[in-house]
Structures are given as structure tokens and as C-alpha cells.
Structure 1
Amino acid sequence: MAIQIITDSTCDLSPEQAAALGVTVVPLRVRFGEREYIDGVELTKAQFYQLLSESRELPTTSQINPDAFEALFRQVVERGDEVLGVFLSGELSGTFQSAVIARELVGAQHIHLVDSGSVTLGLALLLEQAAHLRDEGQSAKQIAVRLEELRGRLSLYAMVDTLKYLKMGGRLSGGAAAIGGLLGIKPIVTALDGKIEAVAKARGKAAALAWIAEKVAGEKMDPALGISFAHSCNPELMHELRDRIEQVCELPSSFAVEIGSVVGTHAGPGCVGIAYFRGE
């Protein structure tokens, strides 16, 4: 019995990365005004950030409905395979709940679902571990249990380069955004209890990257597990972040993703981050 790993497009894996891991990606939908796009299919990440820069209002994203998951789950189960679904945090979207409803509609025992408690590079890192465990021969149930344990050890830190979109989304007042912009304030965010929350502020990019590097060194990542980096339209700054972290600790193998519509809506371009698992 084979295992089909299924996720949503907020994992931000490229088509090539998803294919290499053997992961099926179900897209969310992104709406700019009256126009709706299928994330990653009708709208690339480059096109998303272009539209974001031109828009006077923030786009919205639509969760995946249960019908889409039900059809996919039935297809997998009817061919005699197991489903391992790993999705973005249920605190950020109703997508995970849609998957739960679909599992109930299918009524199959061989559908195992995991709320990642994360998104983008954090979700991608859990998917990499899921693929690794599948290739080792573990069952879908065993992998789901392991992912839920790893979720509690997952750290994610990212620097937001611009305050523009936090202001547009009402997460920051106009006055605070103006002062922050003048002072070069760079918020640093983390995934906490399934939500994206501000954890620190730094004056300038160099200070923000130094803060993240110090945090990573202090938390002592698990060297046996991989790490992920991410950026939104700024791969050079992502490489600078990696270089800074390498100055303070040894890094295991890593991969990178480009941040897409869900996080990119509020973070905007220029965001960089890292996700990893803390040691036990």
C-alpha cells in the first residue's frame, strides 16, 4: 500500500520540489478585486508580487473546499493507497477543516491528516520530513504521529522588510508605519500556536539578520534534520541570512522556497526567513 502525501499551495514548494518529494499540491485561490486566480497555476509568485505592488487593497485567499479534497481522497483510497495530508495551520485558514470534512465524507480509515501549525517554509520542512519517513517505509499513521511530535519542535523566524502591507491590512497604524519606516524598523515574526506573530523589532536589515542568527544559535537546532530558508523576491538577502547563521553554528542540509500569496500578502517583498527543528 503506497502513501500519497497531499498538501496545499501555501507550502510554497516549486513544482519541481513537489515532484521530487512525491507530494501532491492542491491550490488555494487568490482574489485581487473582482479577479480570482488559482494559486501557482494561473498566478505565479512573480505575478502575485507584481499585482500586490499595483493594488490599493490587499488580496484575499479562499480556502480549499471539502469537495476538492473529497474527490482527491477517494481517488487515492480507491486505488488501494493511503492518504497523508499535511496542511497549513488551522488558525490561518479553514483548509485543514475542509480536509477533515472530506475524510468524514469518504469514510476511509486510511486517511491521516496533520495540522502543521505553520505555513510556507515551516510547512515545507514538515513535508520534507514526511517524504523522508515514507521512503524509509513507515506507515501513514506512523508518519502522522511523528510529524505531530516534530511540529512541537519547529521554529520559524522571518524578517519583514516593508511595513506597507502590515499597514494596509490594519495590523499597523499609519503613524506607526510612518515612524517605523523612517527608523528602518524591520519586524521579526515567528509561528506561535499556529499563528504568525511579531516576536521582535530591529533597526535595519543587518540588525534583523543578526537577531535571527543569534536566536538560531541559542536554540540549538537538531543537526540530524534538515532546515529550510525562504524569501520573497530577495534571494540575495536570503543567502546573506544563511551566511550569517553559518558564522555562529553549523548548518545541516537545507533547501529554499519562495514565499507565496498567503504570507506574502502581509509580509510583502523582501522578506527572508529560516525554519528548523530544535533538538530534543
Structure 2
Amino acid sequence: MSIRIVIDSTSDVTNEIIEKYNLKVVPLTVNFENESFLDKIELSSAEFFEKLAKSEKLPTTSQVSPGAFVEAFSEILLEGDQVLGIFLASEFSGTYDSARIAKDMIGSDNIRIIDSRSVCLGTFALILEAIELVNQNNTIDKIVAELDKAKENIVAVAGLDTLKYLEKGGRLSKGQAVVGSILNIKPVIEIKDGKINVIEKIRGKNKTINWFDEWIEKNNYNLSDKTVLLFHARNEDQLKILRDTIEEKYKIKNIIEQEIGSVIGTHTGPGVLGIGFLNK
């Protein structure tokens, strides 16, 4: 009996890793007024940001339904495998609760569900740890116990071009969002324990990369044994500069680059630059 990892689309795991490790991805939905699209399936990142730029109204996002999870889990169980589901923080979406409902509906002891308490690159970092634990042939209960400890060590920060999308999506208060428009301030957010917090306010977009460099140094992070995730949204040039700035200086073991998808992009907008890893 093998263990199949099930994830939602907001983790923005690369297609290469999805295919290599046979991950099952269950997509959320993005709604542009009268049109709805399955994240990453019916709408690529490039297509999404193109539509976002032309849209007068901010799109909305919809969680995965329990029925979609019932279908995904049942398919894996029928193949004789166990299900290990790892999903975005329950504070950000009802997707995790939908997975729990689906588990109860099926009533199988071969399903485990984990709330990552993070999203996007933070959840991705936890999924990479899960893949490693599965490949080490650990039992599913041992893997769940290890992941519950590991998610306390998720590090995920991102520099945003604006906070208006988080505010419009209800993830931040209007008061918090105002700081992003004053004096060209670019906020840096931290995603931790199911919360989004502004941890720095940088004046000027070009100083964000220097902030990341100083932040790594200040926290004395040892990246020589870690896989570091570098994420962006329509910001490849800055991502390349960031990689060139930190890769050799901190002797990073491995770097994975990815552009965020439509669900996360709805709440952050374009111009994002982020770093994530598991600090274990």
C-alpha cells in the first residue's frame, strides 16, 4: 500500500514535482464576474494576470467542494493507496474543512488530512518535506506526526507591490492596506500560523531585494542544506536579481522558482517577490 499526496492548487507546486511524485492536485476556482476557471487547469498564471489587468472588478475565489475531495480520495483508495492531504491554512479558506467533510463522508481509516497553517510557498515547503518522508517509507501516522512538527518551522515572506488586493479580498483591514500607498511604501508580509502580518515597510521597490538579503543574514539562516523556494508574480527580472544576490552568498543547496497562480494572485496582485523554506 503506497501513500498518495493530495494537494490544492494554492500551493503552486511546480508541474515537474507534481508529475515526478504523482501528486494529486485538486483546484480551487477563480471567478471573473460571469466566468469561472479552475486554477492552473483552465487558467494559467500568464492568462490570469492578463485578465486581472483588464478586469474592472476584483475576481473572487471559491474553495474546493467536499464532493471534489470525495472523488479525488475515492479514486486513490480504489487503487489500494492511502491518502495524505496537505492543504492551505483553514483561516484562509474552507478548503481544509471540505477535505475533512469528505474524509468523514467516506469513513476510511486510510485518509489523513493536514492543515498547513500556511499557503503558497509555505505549503509548498511542507509538501516537499512530506515527499521526502514518504520516499523514506515511513508509516502515514509517523509522517503526519513529523509534518505537524515541521509546519512550526515554515518560513514564508513576500514583498508586495501593493496591499490593495489583500484588502479588497478581505485578508487585511483597510487601515493596514493604506500604508502601501503612502510615500511609495512596499510592504513585506509574513505568513505564519494561519495569519498574514506586515513585518516591514520598505520605501521603493528596488530596496526589497536588499531587505531579503539583510533578513537572511540577520536571522542567521543556514541555507546550505535547504531547498529554497523563490516565487514571483509577473516579476521575473527582480526574481533573477534576488537569486543572483543570495544563491552564492548563502551557499543555497537547491532553489526552485515558480510564478504564483490565479488564486494567490487574486489576493496579492502582480509584482510579488517571495522566499520560503523549512527551517529545520
* TM-score of the pair, normalised by structure 1: 0.91
CA distance in 1, matches of 2:22, 2:113: 17
**Aligned-partner Cα distance in 2 for 1:218–1:252:** 19
- Asked whether the equivalents of residues 169 and 266 of structure 1 are also in contact (C-alpha less than 8 Å), the reply is yes
| Structure 2: gaps (5+ residues) | none
Q: Which moved more, 1:135-144 or 1:25-34?
A: 135-144
Amino acid at match of 1:262: V
- 1:149-160 maps to which residues of 2 (within 5 A)? 149-160=149-160
Corresponding position of 1:259: 260
For the 8 Å contact 1:160–1:271, the answer to whether it is kept is yes
User: Secondary structure of 1:214's partner?
Assistant: helix
Letter of the structure 2 residue corresponding to residue 12 of structure 1: D
Post-superposition shift, 1:169?
Answer: 4.3
Deviations 1:111-166 (A, max 9, x none): 11111111111111211121122112112222222111111011111110235534
Q: Does the Cα contact within 8 Å between 2:232 and 2:272 map onto a contact in 1?
A: yes
Tell me whether 1:103 sits opposite 2:103 in the alignment: yes
The count of residues paired between Structure 1 and Structure 2 equals: 278
The SS at the match of 2:13 is: coil
Secondary structure of 1:152's partner? helix
SS at match of 2:162: coil
Identity %: 38
Paired letter, 2:88: L
1:61-210 correspondence runs (5 A): 61-166=61-166, 168-169=168-169, 171=172, 177=178, 180-181=180-181, 183-210=183-210
Q: How much has 1:181 moved relative to structure 2?
A: 4.4
Name the SS of the counterpart of 1:270 in structure 2.
coil
1:241 alignment partner in structure 2: 242
Structure 1 alignment gaps of length 5 or more:
none
Distance 1:19 1:233, change over 3 A: same
8 Å contact kept, 2:154–2:192? no
TM-score relative to the length of structure 2: 0.91
Distance 2:166 2:72 in 1: 35
Aligned counterparts of 1:266 and 1:232: Cα–Cα separation in 2? 12
Deviations 1:187-246 (A, max 9, x none): 101102212221111011232222222222233246433221101111221122223334
Distance in 1 (alpha carbons) for counterparts of 2:278 and 2:212: 15
> Which SS does the other structure have where 2:212 is aligned?
helix
Alignment partner, residue 275 of structure 1: 276
The 3 A distance-change label for structure 1 pair 139 and 92 is same
Contact kept? 1:214, 1:248, Cα under 8 Å: no
Report the Cα distance in structure 1 between the residues aligned to 2:94 and 2:173, rounded to whole angstroms. 24
1:46 match: 46
Q: Secondary structure at the match of 2:246?
A: helix
